Amino acid sequence: MLNENIRKYRKECGLSQEEMAVKLHVVRQTISKWETNLSVPDADMLIEIAKLLQVSVEQLLDYSGKDNLSVDTELARLNEELAKHIKEERRLQLYHQKRNLILYLLIASLTIALVVKNTFLSIGLILLCVLASLWVLYRNLALLASQTSSPSKQQFHALKLTLLFSLLLILFTIGFVCLEKLGMIGETSEFYFVIGIVITLMLFLGYISLKLPYTRFVGLRLPWTVCDEETWYFAHRIIALITPPSIMLMFVGLLMFADKEKVLLICLFLWIMIPSILSLMFYVRKYKLPYKRKK
């Protein structure tokens, strides 16, 4: 690559970036950009660089004299590669900006929940933060998803459906909380509402888990699933597999035992922990990670 050759031959000549910049009548930052592939010298400057470094233009460009390509053609190719590189850098920068914005909004919602004492004001502000984060995520869904995978049309539709479900679930939950704070809903209705939310959530995630693409923003986000695509898909296959029996077990437990809250918590805990533990075992076995047995 041209940038590597400029750095290599400059060092062979014993020149610093400052010394080379003075001899070429440019600033040091220009030399730095050439060597980090952030810009490409034009044809005239390339000839001056070759003279200064005591090499041929062909050596700088790594192109054989047997090829029919001209120096201008090679420079055009390098400029095209540079344009792609800059585009990817800007895309990555935008990705980090949007991701950080979502994170800041979620942190703001948690801060509001801890600081604001007025219940309805707190709920309203949290709702605004959550809706804003969902809006940012929805508007930049293609950008955020493309950093980990290239989702198909069906997978992209599944992501949108998941966001819509999350939005409806949040609105419905906040509406119920407001009614409960106004004293319009009793404890029994509140418990049945929680059961309904849990079952709805399990049913939806069990259905959508096989359709989601590999991404760090939705699904079962654990350290070993977000860093490995195969482990991520394995975990979500387990979720889809155990969801129907988990819901059936929950119904049976609610009918048989008096402590319904404990039954609900145990079933929900098992539904989350089974795919988490199995996916961790899959990840450890895949990468053959060492572990120590306790004596």
Q: Is residue 101 in a domain?
A: no
Say what the pLDDT of residue 66 is: 45
Q: Is residue 116 in a domain?
A: no
Measured CA to CA, the distance from residue 249 to residue 137 in angstroms comes to: 35
Question: At residue 176, what is the residue type?
Answer: F
Say what the pLDDT of residue 3 is: 79
Judged by DSSP in three states, 209 sits in coil
Of the residues 68, 84, 103, the one at which a domain ends? 68
Identify the DSSP state of 111: H
CATH code at position 56:
1.10.260.40
Q: Is residue 21 in a domain?
A: yes
Q: Is residue 105 in a domain?
A: no
Measured CA to CA, the distance from residue 239 to residue 247 in angstroms comes to: 12
* Counted domains in the chain: 2
Q: What pTM does this model have? A: 0.57
Question: What range defines the domain where residue 9 resides?
Answer: 2-68
Specify whether 172 is located in the same domain as 294.
yes
Q: Is residue 153 in a domain?
A: no
Joined together, the tokens standing for residue 69 give 């390509």
Say what the pLDDT of residue 68 is: 47
Of the residues 18, 36, 68, the one at which a domain ends? 68
Q: Is residue 62 in a domain?
A: yes
Q: Is residue 107 in a domain?
A: no
Of the residues 16, 40, 68, the one at which a domain ends? 68
**pLDDT truncated to tens, each residue of the chain (295 aa)?**
777 888 888 888 888 888 888 888 888 888 888 888 777 787 778 788 888 888 877 777 776 544 545 555 666 666 666 666 667 777 777 777 877 887 788 788 878 877 878 877 887 888 888 888 888 877 777 776 665 566 677 777 788 888 788 878 888 887 787 777 777 777 777 788 888 888 998 999 999 888 888 877 777 888 888 888 889 899 999 999 999 999 999 989 888 888 888 888 999 999 999 999 999 999 998 887 655 554 4
What is the separation, in whole angstroms, between the first and last Cα of the chain? 55
Say what the pLDDT of residue 237 is: 93
Sign of CA dihedral 249, 198, 236, 210: positive
Q: Is residue 24 in a domain?
A: yes
Residue 91, C-beta contacts closer than 8 angstroms, at least 6 positions apart? 143
Measured CA to CA, the distance from residue 235 to residue 275 in angstroms comes to: 5
Specify whether 64 is located in the same domain as 172.
no
Specify whether 51 is located in the same domain as 173.
no
